[in-house]
Amino acid sequence: MFEIVHSIESCTVLVVDDAKVIRKLVSAILKPVCRTVSFESAETALKVCHKIKPDLIIMDIHLEGMSGLEACQQLKSDPELADIPLIFITSNQDPKTQEKCWDAGAVDFIEKPLVASTLVKRITTHLKYKVQADILTNQSFVDGLTELYNRRFFDIEIERLLKDSLRRRVPLALLLIDIDFFKKFNDSLGHLEGDQALKSVTRQVSLCARRPVDLVCRYGGEEIAVLLPDTSVHSAQQFASDIVKSIAGLAIVHPMSPHKHVTVSVGLSCTGSSKATTPAQLIAQADDALYHAKEAGRNQYQASVALVS
């Protein structure tokens, strides 16, 4: 997909670190790649974000005043700034600290001492993703009703992500989500209410997808597909369970459902354990699992038989 991105030289990277030497070092390293603007405090950086709307932010976790984690959480809570990717700079390799970075909404973190080549490659990759996302948002890859990526984009991305998964030997998980008894919902309450329910469900699924790399698409009709790169079977199962519970928790009244509110069924497949090597195989396994979730009573998830056999 990077072939649609011609140049990142015009991109602006915001560098936030209370150490002047680090700000100067990062700016010098990235000078041949893109434009940089630097500040020593998170408070100042957040104020200028609305004015300059940077394409990416590099921020130290530990800052005087507002911490990097607090700044990232505030950034992600602002609809106008939430799509700006943020990379943390940290000297702390503790897994709990790294988990806090992901939870805050960071797309990556770079360890100190900084390695110039690693910094350039990481920044280049994330800038290309950002530019690509901006282009796609304005093209024909977004579903008009739900504002999710559509089936066309899903078909492109599952092929790319699967190739990357097999090349790097890391798992790729796929969830197929179907709203239970949705035709009956439309028949009883009307299509306008159905559209609102669909938008509420897709919004909730998107909220559950915490990482920027997680891809949520409208697969077709009332079906939603979620691609989870670099995600183990166990983590994908937890994600699926969270989806089922959170949708039920919306408590959207569904008079024609035995559950009396809107619920979803989820089918899960994952590379590696399932031996799936093509998009068709991965989709077929998730679809089969979805069928079993419906047969078992709906309002639940099922993993592909290939994962548990």
Q: Is 294 helix (H, G, I), strand (E, B) or coil?
A: helix
Which listed residue (3, 193, 222, 223) is catalytic? 222
Helical (H) or strand (E) element with 219: strand 215-220
Rg (the chain; Cα; Å): 21
How far from 186 is each of 82, 195, 201, 253, CA to CA, in Å? 33, 9, 15, 12
**Are the beta carbons of 256 and 187 closer than 8 angstroms?**
yes
Pairwise CA distance, residues 68 & 268, whole Å: 35
Pairwise CA distance, residues 192 & 190, whole Å: 6
Q: What are the backbone dihedrals phi and psi of residue 195, each rounded to the nearest 5 degrees, phi first?
A: -60, -40
- Whether residue 222 lies in the annotated active site: yes
> Tokens 């960071």 identify what position?
106
Pairwise CA distance, residues 179 & 189, whole Å: 15
CB proximity list for 281: less than 8 A, separation 6 or greater: 274
How far from 281 is each of 51, 92, 98, 153, 275, CA to CA, in Å? 47, 40, 33, 18, 9
Pairwise CA distance, residues 29 & 294, whole Å: 54
Helical (H) or strand (E) element with 38: strand 35-39
Catalytic residue numbers? 222
